[in-house]
Amino acid sequence: MIKLLWVDDNLDQDLAEKRMSLLMEDEIESDFAGDATEAYFLLTDREKEYDVVLMDLRHPAGPDDIWNEYAEQADRKFGPVLLRMVKENQDSKFNHLSKTRYGVFTIETREENPDLFAPPINLPEQNYKMKTHAYDEKDFINFIYALYKS
């Protein structure tokens, strides 16, 4: 069983079909977060150990002051901020996620996000996919399995 956290603010609109395909997949147990605050609290919950975290790059901060210092630089781009926090693991809040694999599923190109592939995030290039209408549910599910096996 793959334990997945998917962070995206369009889970109930544009991505509803992909979300439904995940819920119907017997081998994947999914949690969902619509903003950085919700994701942060799921990721810091030591009771939850995710095999895969799939992150959109652009989503709102959510209702917490921890994002105030990033508000101007992030421009709704809290996915990279959250990934950096997890990878830097300050105060050992994310120790329980040491074996977690991370992926990005976004509308932006790789070229727009070179920082993701450098320290501290070090995202493998194959773990980055763009959202397109041609990227169907089967390809999406296969991407989750590929992240798990990486």
CATH no. for residue 90?
3.40.50.2300
pLDDT value at 56 more than 90: yes
User: Does residue 7 have a pLDDT over 90?
Assistant: yes
Sign of CA dihedral 45, 62, 25, 87: negative
Burial of 117 per CB tally in 10 Å (0-12, 13-18, 19+): middle
Residue 63 pLDDT > 60, yes or no?
yes
Question: 24 vs 30, 60, 114, 121, 129, CA distance in Å?
Answer: 10, 27, 34, 31, 22
Looking up tokens 């992909």 gives 18
pLDDT digits (tens, 9 = 90+) for 8-42: 987 776 666 776 777 778 899 999 999 999 999 99
3-state SS class at 69: helix
pLDDT tier at 113 (50, 70, 90 boundaries)? very high
- Crossing angle of the two packed helices 16-23 and 137-149, in degrees rounded to 10: 60
- Rounded to two decimals, the pTM is 0.91
79: Cβ–Cβ under 8 A, 6 or more apart, which residues? 7, 36, 55, 56, 57, 58, 59, 104, 106
Instruction: Taking residues 63-73, report their average pLDDT.
Output: 78
For residues 67 and 41, the answer to whether their CB atoms sit within 8 Å is no
Domain count, the chain: 1
Range of 92's domain? Answer: 2-149
